[in-house]
């Protein structure tokens, strides 16, 4: 059923349907992407947050994810944990030190395909002036036609250690490991 709808759409809009098979560059922007994180406190509770200002580019051929490449720059001051006092603390020199390091950046090096809908993204994260190799797991959670063409939803997850970037403040109350989850919604061209 889903296939026949897809086929119908592809034949109705054959030009954009074909275009979706080729690699293209898409903007990474807050309108279509959410960058969230979770950090643990002694296993008793967690703090959740997100970055609301960032920009970047994703080169993607949905049929050949191993050719993908992504580069994103995040404004560290846009950190939001839904509590003003905590946001101020996170912007302070002990944590993101947003005065000296207003941005952090991620650039992918290698993307390996790990399954029909999954890939592993290897790249470098630069934060607080230090660069460290990080790996994220990407899952294509959804790819479907909609009224205007075709859309794809991705979820990218990973875990990094703050200490790799010299951010050790708040330990042990604030765990070293931070879980990242990025949700992206892309309108395939």
Stretch that binds another protein, among 52-60, 77-85, 105-113, 127-135 (CB under 8 A): 77-85
* Farthest-apart Cα atoms in the chain, separation: 58
Binding of another protein at residue 39 (CB under 8 A)? no
Tell me if 185 sits within 8 A of 171, measured CB to CB.
Answer: no
Which of 91, 100, 170 has the alpha carbon at shortest distance from 128? 100
Stretch that binds another protein, among 1-9, 39-47, 133-141, 143-151 (CB under 8 A): 39-47
Binding of another protein at residue 146 (CB under 8 A)? no
Cα 70 to Cα 26, 34, 49, 58, 123, distances in angstroms: 9, 15, 22, 4, 9
Stretch that binds another protein, among 45-53, 69-77, 117-125, 149-157 (CB under 8 A): 45-53
List Cβ neighbours of 148 (8 Å cut-off, separation of 6 or more). Answer: 187
Binding of another protein at residue 82 (CB under 8 A)? yes
Binding of another protein at residue 79 (CB under 8 A)? no
The contact set with another protein (CB under 8 A) reads 41, 44-45, 47-48, 82-86, 89, 92, 94, 169-170, 172-174
């Amino acid at each position: 059923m889903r296939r026949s709808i897809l086929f119908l759409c592809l034949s109705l809009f054959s030009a954009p349907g074909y275009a979706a098979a080729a690699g293209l560059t898409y903007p990474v922007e807050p309108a279509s992407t959410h960058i969230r994180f979770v950090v643990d406190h002694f296993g008793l509770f967690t703090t959740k947050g997100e970055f609301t200002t960032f920009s970047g580019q994703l080169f993607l051929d949905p049929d050949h994810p191993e050719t993908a490449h992504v580069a994103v720059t995040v404004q560290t001051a846009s950190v939001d944990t839904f509590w003003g006092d905590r946001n101020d603390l996170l912007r302070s020199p002990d944590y993101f030190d947003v005065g000296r390091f207003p941005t952090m950046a991620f650039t992918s090096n290698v993307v390996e395909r790990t399954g029909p809908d999954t890939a592993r993204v290897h790249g470098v994260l630069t934060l607080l002036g230090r660069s460290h190799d990080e790996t994220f797991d990407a899952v294509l959670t959804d790819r479907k036609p909609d009224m205007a063409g075709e859309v794809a939803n991705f979820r990218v997850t990973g875990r990094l250690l703050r200490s790799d970037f010299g951010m050790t403040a708040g330990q042990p109350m604030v765990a070293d490991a931070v879980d990242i989850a990025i949700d992206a919604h892309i309108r395939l061209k």
